[in-house]
């Protein structure tokens, strides 16, 4: 663990700080991506790094994701530890081959002889009317394909620790930051987007869930911005005498199945909140985990609050209705606990 | 030929070894699949893409390589892997799906990876080109004078990865050499029907880098073009695009009826078989004697048999080992 701190950072600054510390510690670390240099990353993930480390370590790339993500793979195989930023996860369609056919499979194909120690960081999430090509979460897509770890921090502390862990990890890690938890000036943010962050380097282990709020009546398992929605819902429900435990999974691959099972055994009810599309995704996986590990403990069928299987719509009322909101979480938990 | 004799001999030896390996793989592949062709049957299951005819592209590169140089090859990788010095026994074992293989049977013939020498390939068209850029980036950051070489086919030159890689390599002045193995066909589609210009080497000008055409399937031409490109890359002069007109003597994959190429075309290919023509040239110029050729053949054939014997006598992996090596 790390020392207590009163210093507060936004999630965005915590990510940039994590990268800075690792750039400083390890000569083999470098960052590459679109607008990661002078701009500091469209979402601020590399803010201030160019000035400190120069263009050899913080590299603006052409808009050619196949090219530079593939280059990150080649650099990782040859002794560097690159962090490549795919600006929006929605852009994966132009470069997925390098990600799932190459980055994620080389270690396996080589029978363990070749390592690909790289981080692919990318912004996810909607809620700001950017429509269906800039608002998806898609972690289920990446988690479904073997060979890469997938982490989704929800707060500044975890964002820093998970980034440091990801950079030090010998496997490819997809690091997905939700725009709504970054604390950017130009985006509606949850108040918890700013929080205490120790100054020194520390790791948050990949594959370990956290109990964001303990409770007894229902487990709400989720990641990213939905952690905050679930916490908001839990506060509202407390007034009605319902005690919700919010489980921040933090990592989809590996998934902390033990934490899911343990929580469900305690609360006997499970809700999964997933900003990704409902079908064939995280919600199904988490519920299956609970059914396999805690079937006899379940007092009610699990419930999921996810994005229905439609592209994220543009118009505010459409999008608000589509994404997992506090309103939908509260309604779901009431149904679960009174049914 | 103004080339050191040992380089010429090495190129010829390697060509003989590659050809023999491919011939023997072909025999074994078919002998246990006939009369009714079943792609999953036999000692070597799955697709098999052999490179007979394309040897000059690989062996012309070999004398210029040094330890640590990175190579990315295509789904038709054997000639490049052998020329780079990938362990023939482990490579054969991988092709036979054995525990002793390069990837313990996880990758197979399209997914050969070797740390020493630094070799990788891929079943996806154009996939290795950005990776070579990344290897080159790593070399320049680490301050070595190593180079990365990326082999790709004429079909790959129409992929986005080709253009993105050339642009990236040129923009960042990376020590990488792109080598287009133009065998004229993307499976069954002739290049003229798929590529807007006759020579992919001309595309280099779009990225402000040298483009070099080697017009015949000649190891010496490849040797000279690649030698110059590698010298330039090692000394900080940036990338080069080289195109070599070569021949894929056999079908795209074993079992391919190869009906899309005319008998005349195939006959002409057989007549210009680079193994034959290069051997004859070395004899004519006195680089090799008949007895040299015989002893080279004996040694190379022996090496190939030894590798095949090692592969076939090696155990299969335990079935549950399929779960290993997903993560480090």
pLDDT at A339 over 80: no
Q: Would you call A307 helix, strand, or coil by DSSP? A: strand
- B206 CA: distance to closest CA in chain A (Å): 15
Of B124, B142, B23, B5, which Cα lies nearest the Cα of B76? B124
Please say whether the beta carbons of A124 and A87 come within 8 A: no
Alpha helices for chain A (secondary structure H) = 11-25, 49-53, 65-77, 96, 106-109, 139-144, 156-168, 225-238, 257-267, 282-294, 316-322, 326-338
Q: Who among B102, B138, B328 is closest to A115 (CB)? A: B328
Residues of A with CB under 8 A from a CB of B: 30, 56, 61-62, 64, 66-80, 82, 94, 97-98, 101-102, 105-115, 117, 146-147, 149, 170-171
pLDDT at A3 over 70: no
> What pLDDT score does A303 carry?
97
C-alpha dihedral sign at A256, A259, A265, A267: negative
Query: Interface pTM (ipTM) of the complex?
Result: 0.93
DSSP letter, residue B209: S
Separation between Cα atoms, residue B324 and residue A86, nearest integer Å: 29
Separation between Cα atoms, residue A111 and residue B205, nearest integer Å: 40
* Residue that is written with structure tokens 């301050």 in the block: B143
Question: Among all residues of A, which ones are annotated catalytic?
Answer: 65, 134
Q: Do B124 and A75 touch (CB under 8 A)?
A: no
**In chain A, which residues have their Cβ closer than 8 Å to the Cβ of B113?**
106, 109-111, 113-114
Q: Do B127 and A102 touch (CB under 8 A)?
A: yes
Token digits for A325? 């909101």
pTM over 0.90: yes
Of B218, B178, B183, which Cα lies nearest the Cα of B11? B218
Query: What are A246-299's pLDDT values in tens digits?
Result: 999 999 999 999 999 999 999 999 999 999 999 999 999 999 999 999 999 999
Q: Which residues contact B74 (CB under 8 A, 6 or more apart)?
A: B80, B121, B122, B125, B128, B151, B152, B153, B156, B181
- Among B71, B112, B131, B152, most A C-beta atoms within 10 A, so best to mutate, is B131
> What pLDDT score does A2 carry?
55
Of B144, B157, B96, B97, which Cα lies nearest the Cα of B118? B144
- B135 CA: distance to closest CA in chain A (Å): 5
A244-248 sheet: strands from edge to edge: A210-213, A244-248, A218-222, A270-277, A303-307
Please say whether the beta carbons of B201 and B241 come within 8 A: yes
Q: Who among B102, B130, B324 is closest to A66 (CB)? A: B130
A24 backbone dihedrals φ, ψ, rounded to 5°? -70, -40
> What pLDDT score does B17 carry?
98
**In chain B, which residues have their Cβ closer than 8 Å to the Cβ of A72?**
134
Q: Which residues contact A88 (CB under 8 A, 6 or more apart)?
A: A122, A123, A124, A133, A134
Q: Do B135 and A75 touch (CB under 8 A)?
A: yes
Q: Would you call A213 helix, strand, or coil by DSSP? A: strand
> What pLDDT score does A187 carry?
83
Confidence band of A314 (pLDDT split at 50, 70, 90) = very high
Which bin fits B124, alpha (ψ -120 to 50), beta or left (φ > 0)? beta
Q: Do B114 and A113 touch (CB under 8 A)?
A: yes
Separation between Cα atoms, residue A56 and residue A23, nearest integer Å: 11
Q: Would you call A331 helix, strand, or coil by DSSP? A: helix
Token digits for A329? 């979480």
Average pLDDT estimate for A114-127: 97
Confidence band of A189 (pLDDT split at 50, 70, 90) = confident
Separation between Cα atoms, residue B121 and residue B133, nearest integer Å: 14
Asked, as a colleague might, if the bond just before B117 is cis with ω within 30 of 0, I would say yes
> What pLDDT score does B32 carry?
85
Strands A81-88 and A29-33, sheet pairing:
parallel
Instruction: Using CA coordinates, name the residue in chain B closest to A79.
Output: B138
Instruction: Quickly list DSSP for B92-159.
Output: HHHHTT-TTSTTTTSS-TT--EETTTEEEE-SSTTTHHHHHHHHHHHHHHHT----EEEEEETTGGGS
> What pLDDT score does B36 carry?
80
**In chain B, which residues have their Cβ closer than 8 Å to the Cβ of A62?**
164, 167-168, 171
Separation between Cα atoms, residue B210 and residue B208, nearest integer Å: 7
pLDDT at A47 over 90: yes
DSSP letter, residue B75: S
Instruction: Using CA coordinates, name the residue in chain B closest to A80.
Output: B138
**Helices A282-294/A257-267 angle, 10° precision:** 60
B142 touches chain A (CB under 8 A): yes
Those of residues 105-124 in B touching chain A at CB distance below 8 A are 105-107, 111, 113-115, 118, 120, 122, 124
Q: Would you call B5 helix, strand, or coil by DSSP? A: helix
Separation between Cα atoms, residue B127 and residue A98, nearest integer Å: 7
Q: Do A171 and B324 touch (CB under 8 A)?
A: no
Instruction: Using CA coordinates, name the residue in chain B closest to A73.
Output: B131
Q: Who among A62, A72, A171 is closest to B328 (CB)? A: A171
**In chain B, which residues have their Cβ closer than 8 Å to the Cβ of A91?**
none
> What pLDDT score does A121 carry?
98
| Spans of chain B below 70 pLDDT | 1
Strands B176-182 and B240-245, sheet pairing:
parallel
**In chain A, which residues have their Cβ closer than 8 Å to the Cβ of B107?**
108-111
Q: Who among A73, A105, A117 is closest to B134 (CB)? A: A73
């Amino acid at each position: 663990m790390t020392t207590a701190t009163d210093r507060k950072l936004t999630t965005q600054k915590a990510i940039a700080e994590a990268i800075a510390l690792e750039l400083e510690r390890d000569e083999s670390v470098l960052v590459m991506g679109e607008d990661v240099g002078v701009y500091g990353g469209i979402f601020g993930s590399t803010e201030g790094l160019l000035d400190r480390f120069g263009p050899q370590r913080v590299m603006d790339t052409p808009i050619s994701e196949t090219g530079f993500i593939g280059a990150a793979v080649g650099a990782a195989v040859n002794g560097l530890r690159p962090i490549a930023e795919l600006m929006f996860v929605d852009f994966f369609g132009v470069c997925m081959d390098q990600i799932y056919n190459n980055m994620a499979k080389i270690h396996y194909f080589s029978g363990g002889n070749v390592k690909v120690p790289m981080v692919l960081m990318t912004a996810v999430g909607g809620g700001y009317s950017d429509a269906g090509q800039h608002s998806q979460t898609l972690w289920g897509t990446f988690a479904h394909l073997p060979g890469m770890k997938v982490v989704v921090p929800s707060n500044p502390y975890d964002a820093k620790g998970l980034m440091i862990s990801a950079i030090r990890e010998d496997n490819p890690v997809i690091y997905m930051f939700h725009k709504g938890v970054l604390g950017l000036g130009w985006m509606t943010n949850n108040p918890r987007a700013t929080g205490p962050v120790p100054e020194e380097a520390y790791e948050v282990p990949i594959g370990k869930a956290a109990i964001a709020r303990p409770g007894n009546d229902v487990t709400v398992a989720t990641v990213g911005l939905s952690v905050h929605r679930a916490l908001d819902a839990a506060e509202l429900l407390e007034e009605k005498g319902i005690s919700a435990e919010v489980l921040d999974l933090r990592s989809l691959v590996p998934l902390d199945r033990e934490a899911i099972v343990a929580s469900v055994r305690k609360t006997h009810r499970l809700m999964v909140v997933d900003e990704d599309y409902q079908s064939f995704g995280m919600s199904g996986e988490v519920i299956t985990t609970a059914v396999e590990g805690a079937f006899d403990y379940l007092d009610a069928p699990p419930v999921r609050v996810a994005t229905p299987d439609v592209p994220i719509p543009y118009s505010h009322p459409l999008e608000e209705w589509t994404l997992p909101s506090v309103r939908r979480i509260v309604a779901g938990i009431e149904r679960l606990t009174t049914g | 030929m103004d080339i050191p004799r040992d380089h010429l001999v090495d190129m010829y030896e390697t060509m003989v070894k590659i050809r023999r390996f491919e011939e023997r793989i072909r025999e074994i592949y078919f002998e246990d699949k006939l009369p009714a062709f079943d792609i999953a049957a036999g000692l070597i299951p799955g697709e098999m893409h052999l490179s007979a005819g394309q040897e000059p592209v690989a062996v012309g590169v070999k004398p210029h390589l040094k330890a640590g140089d990175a190579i990315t090859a295509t789904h038709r990788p054997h000639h490049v892997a052998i020329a780079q010095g990938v362990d023939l026994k482990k490579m054969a074992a991988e092709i036979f799906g054995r525990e002793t293989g390069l990837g313990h049977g996880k990758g197979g013939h399209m997914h050969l990876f070797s740390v020493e020498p630094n070799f990788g390939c891929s079943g996806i068209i154009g996939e290795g080109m950005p990776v070579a850029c990344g290897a080159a980036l790593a070399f320049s950051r680490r301050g070595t004078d190593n180079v990365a070489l990326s082999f790709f086919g004429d079909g790959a030159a129409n992929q986005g990865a080709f253009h993105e890689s050339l642009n990236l390599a040129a923009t960042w002045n990376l020590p990488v050499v792109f080598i287009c193995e133009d065998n004229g066909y993307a499976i069954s589609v002739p290049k003229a029907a798929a590529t807007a210009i006759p020579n992919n080497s001309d595309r280099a000008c779009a990225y402000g880098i040298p483009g070099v055409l080697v017009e015949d399937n000649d190891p010496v031409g490849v040797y000279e073009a690649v030698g110059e490109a590698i010298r330039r890359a090692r000394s900080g002069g940036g990338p080069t695009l080289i195109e070599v007109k070569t021949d894929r003597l056999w079908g795209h994959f074993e079992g391919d009826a190869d009906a899309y190429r005319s008998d005349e075309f195939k006959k002409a290919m057989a007549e210009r078989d680079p193994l034959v023509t290069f051997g004859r040239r070395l004899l004519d110029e006195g680089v090799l004697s008949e007895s040299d050729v015989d002893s080279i053949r004996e040694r190379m054939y022996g090496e190939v048999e030894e590798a095949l014997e090692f592969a076939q006598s090696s155990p299969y992996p335990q079935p549950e080992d399929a779960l290993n090596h997903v993560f480090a």
